[in-house]
Structure 1
Amino acid sequence: MTAASDDRTDAGPRRFLGFRRVALVELVLFFAVALGLDLTVGDGLRFDGVQPHPFWIPVLLLAIQYGTGEGVLAALVASVALRLGNMPEQPISQDLYQYLFALSREPILWLVSAVLFGELRMRQIRERDGLRADLDLARAEAEAITRSYRQLKSVKENLETRVAGQLRTVFTLYQAAKSIDRLDEGEVMLGVADLIRTVMKPDKFSLFLLNNGLLESVTNEGWDDENDSYSRWFDHSHALFETVVGRQRLICVARDEDERIMAGEGVLAGPLVSSDTGEVVGMVKIESLGFTDLSVNTVENFRILCEWIGTALAKAKRYREVNEQRLFTDDELYSSTFIGRQAEFLARLGRRMGFETTSITIRPGGLSRLSAAQRAELASAIGRAVRDGLRDTDLACDFGQHGAVFGVVLTGTPLAGARLVAAKLEAAVREALPPALSAIPITFATERVEVRE
């Protein structure tokens, strides 16, 4: 007999008339073999009188393996197979009750055993099904917890990425904003490009400055000289100039009127207006921007950006204009504007009077590796050494690069004498430098001041 490897309680193709099909197959095969052996080998009495009776085998196996239903079925089939057509005669020594007991003893034992062992098996099956149900529920709960954990983890990672991206964006924006907080116009314009890239992320953009009634392009990024035909200047006759400079209005191609004004020149254009004075100093124009990047927030950010840049450029412009009128710098050196005019005057005077005017250029190296505080300390040390080591007739100056290049104009000193003074200055500067900056390379170049014709 083949033992089933898995008991299933669900009604379906594995059951027939409420009984397991495999149990029915096993029952039929057993009795076919047993009755066949009885007819061919045995005496044809269905093993009557054999103890224990072979028909116990299917009763016990099916009851223990499948439960009460299959066990009772096996007991009934065994009883029919034993007594159907095989009723022994009643002996004279037996009364009716003894005879009936002899006939029904084994069938009754089979039924009792089938019910007893079958119920024990059914209790095991019920406990097993309960454990399976609990296991399925636990697995379902574990899967639900796992899915929830993965979703929560994904949400957490997305939030972390978003927060990290926002922090990087804020930090980058802060760094870019610091880059335009300068007093030199060139440095401001370099920082403007970084600021536009950080805030707007455009594919193509350009910066225009207002000069003598014209908007002139001073920098552009992403332009293809072969395929792009954007204008590099706009005068008062152009609608873009009139709208941006005259009306001080931002232009966005999302509006039909503005699209006609832009005339294919870009997507956004805004005036650079100083928030302090209301002065228009130029224009920022974005020629190409991602479709999904053009939104109401983008336009508002662009408006703020233009005002920010305009204020920075206007401040740098005013600083340049004021600085041109200064006689001394913050380090008590002559300003580059004054010293330029003075050196040319001395050169002309020397040509007429017969004396030479020479200059010494002091240029520190490796400034990009120094912090702002170190650069200020270096400039102060050089300025102090130059002032203390010069003659009364020598003029010390800042050559206009904010502590990057210094100079000395030597009146009535030939080139050979200027080299001697340069050697003396180099020793004084080296002595004045703090220990942390003593290894900074500094060049001292001498030349004759020529008269510009």
Structure 2
Amino acid sequence: MTDLPTAEQPASPPAPRRVLGVRAIAWLEIVLFFAVVLSVDFLLLDGDRFWDVRPHPFWLIVILLAVQYGANASLVAALAATLALTVGNLPPPELGADVFEYWAGVGLRPALWVGVGQILGQMRDRELAERARLQTRIATLEHQNHLIAQGFEELKRTKSALEARIARQFRTVITTYRAAQSMDVTDGARLSRGLDQLIQSVLSPQKYSLWTLGPDGFELERTVGWKDTDSYERRLELAHPMVQHLLAREPALCAARPTDERKLMGQGLLAGALTDLDTGEIVGMLKIEETAFLDFNLYTLENFNVICSWIAAARIRARRWEQLQADRVTGANDLLMTAEVSERIYALLAQLGRRKGFSSSQLIVRPHDPDGLAPEQHSILALALGEAARTTFRATDLAFEREAEDAEYAILLPGTPLDDAEFLAGKLRDAIAQHLPASVPIDAVLIEARPIEETATPPIAGASS
């Protein structure tokens, strides 16, 4: 869980400068006040420092500092007023006056200044303390509000990032599913496209390469993202440490491990053998040369191992399918024989014809415009031809796929001269027309009779004529 962001406590304003616990500005106000008042007294008045004035002007500075700066400033003002009033300015005692009564009269005003100043000052101090406490509380609350707002924004960003990550993972799952579907094929070109889509969706590499295993090591099959300036090797001999490691069926090499990095020798970040989990057969290698920093982690290594096994299984399955298809006698619709079988039968029939002195012919069936027919129309034509050959011709007449990509077919007519074959061409056209739907008109089909010698393969080496 991500911790909420923290922020520094907002800086409080600098504390005012103090001298002996009293603000410096209070000292300045006291000095200025007594300088002005005493100057007026000495220059314009009697110079007795307002001894007989009621109320005394010094009350002004005492009360002002008490209500403005508190008890300490008021005490200083009262002491300054006392000194300013009494130092060198005490009136002589009257004859016969009581001493205690004299000093009580002298000290009454200073005592009142101190007492009243302290009362007002303490009230001001309490008010200032309460205000400071409230300011601290407000600052704390503002700081907390700032943290809450910042945490809310961080949660919003985290929420948006999680939503984007979930959406990206969902798209990755869909892409991986589609890539897996595209890999479940037997055609080599479609399988290659499916492999690229699978690698890109799961691993997101910037540069990678696929290799095949040969007798001398790994041979480069295909690269993605490579540039002409890259110095990656195009062939890895058996003596290469990477090849020896992978052929020993060791785990995939990862540049994050120092021992593996020495074996990779700067040739990539990840390298793994394409190994079939069932048989242990190694069919090649997948190597990632460059990827984003955030995509190079433990999960990437685990996914990389799965992808290597997946690719190996798909390639082995496609190879076995090709071997099975090469051994098939009939094509996909089970009505026409494959072109591979037709080559062997043509050669055998040509040799028999030369030995026994009989001629054979064939009917070539193809559309006028192969590119003008959709794939399903090609399949319809093949089915119609197979049905027509089965119901119209002899059991010895064989129908073959001649050129699968161009939808070209042939019907072998053993022991049939070319003239008879041309007659059978019209008969075949009528039979095909009965099995074709309206979407494939018979006029789009071309049927041509040819002698077998034109397309027969050379005789088998060593055969006697």
Q: TM-score, normalised by structure 2?
A: 0.65
Amino acid at match of 1:284: M
1:126 corresponds to 2:133: no
Return the match for 1:309 from 302, 308, 311.
311
Deviations 1:368-405 (CA, angstroms, capped at 9, x unpaired): xxxxxxxxxx83x774577469855596969657xxx7
Shift of 1:195: 3.3
Question: Against the structure 1 CA distance between its residues 218 and 445, is the aligned structure 2 distance closer, same or farther, given a 3 Å change threshold?
Answer: farther
Report the counterpart of residue 322 of structure 2 in structure 1: 320
SS at match of 2:53: coil
Amino acid at match of 1:18: G
Shift of 1:64: 0.8
Return the match for 1:428 from 419, 432, 437.
437
Matched residues in 2 for 1:31 and 1:144: separation? 51
Structure 1, gaps ≥5 residues long: 1-7, 368-377, 433-442
Say if 2:363 and 2:410, in contact at 8 Å, map to a contact too.
no
Matched residues in 1 for 2:44 and 2:242: separation? 120
SS at match of 1:112: helix
Matched residues in 2 for 1:149 and 1:444: separation? 71
SS at match of 1:203: strand
Shift of 1:283: 0.8
Matched residues in 2 for 1:334 and 1:241: separation? 48
Report the counterpart of residue 336 of structure 2 in structure 1: 334
Deviations 1:393-440 (CA, angstroms, capped at 9, x unpaired): 596969657xxx7556588569x989x99x9799935389xxxxxxxx
Matched residues in 2 for 1:161 and 1:231: separation? 39
Which structure 2 residues correspond to residues 148-297 of structure 1 after superposition, within 5 A?
166-197=169-200, 198-199=202-203, 201=205, 203-208=207-212, 217-222=220-225, 228=231, 230-231=233-234, 252=253, 270-280=272-282, 282-286=283-287, 288-289=289-290
Question: Against the structure 1 CA distance between its residues 397 and 19, is the aligned structure 2 distance closer, same or farther, given a 3 Å change threshold?
Answer: same
Say if 1:360 and 1:445, in contact at 8 Å, map to a contact too.
yes
Deviations 1:100-127 (CA, angstroms, capped at 9, x unpaired): 6654554344333312321221121111
Question: Against the structure 1 CA distance between its residues 224 and 122, is the aligned structure 2 distance closer, same or farther, given a 3 Å change threshold?
Answer: closer
Report the counterpart of residue 366 of structure 2 in structure 1: 359
Shift of 1:268: 6.2
Report the counterpart of residue 33 of structure 2 in structure 1: 30
Structure 2, gaps ≥5 residues long: 1-12, 394-398, 413-420, 458-465
Amino acid at match of 1:203: K
Report the counterpart of residue 75 of structure 2 in structure 1: 72
Shift of 1:166: 4.7
Shift of 1:322: 2.3
Matched residues in 2 for 1:116 and 1:256: separation? 80
Report the counterpart of residue 437 of structure 1 in structure 2: none
1:82 corresponds to 2:85: yes
Matched residues in 1 for 2:316 and 2:178: separation? 20
Amino acid at match of 2:289: S
Matched residues in 2 for 1:408 and 1:180: separation? 30
Report the counterpart of residue 4 of structure 2 in structure 1: none
Report the counterpart of residue 45 of structure 2 in structure 1: 42
SS at match of 2:63: helix
Matched residues in 1 for 2:81 and 2:93: separation? 21
Return the match for 2:118 from 115, 120, 138.
115
Say if 1:23 and 1:66, in contact at 8 Å, map to a contact too.
yes
Question: Against the structure 1 CA distance between its residues 221 and 28, is the aligned structure 2 distance closer, same or farther, given a 3 Å change threshold?
Answer: closer
**Which piece of structure 1 moves more, 51-60 or 299-308?**
299-308
Question: Against the structure 1 CA distance between its residues 171 and 64, is the aligned structure 2 distance closer, same or farther, given a 3 Å change threshold?
Answer: same
Matched residues in 2 for 1:240 and 1:193: separation? 27
Say if 1:231 and 1:265, in contact at 8 Å, map to a contact too.
no
Amino acid at match of 1:311: A
Amino acid at match of 2:128: I
SS at match of 2:437: helix
Say if 1:386 and 1:425, in contact at 8 Å, map to a contact too.
no
Say if 1:63 and 1:118, in contact at 8 Å, map to a contact too.
yes
Q: How many residues align?
A: 412
Question: Against the structure 1 CA distance between its residues 303 and 102, is the aligned structure 2 distance closer, same or farther, given a 3 Å change threshold?
Answer: closer
Which structure 2 residues correspond to residues 363-442 of structure 1 after superposition, within 5 A?
379=376, 383=379, 387=383, 391-392=388-389, 400=404, 406=407, 412=421, 428-430=437-439
Shift of 1:362: 7.1
RMSD: 5.5
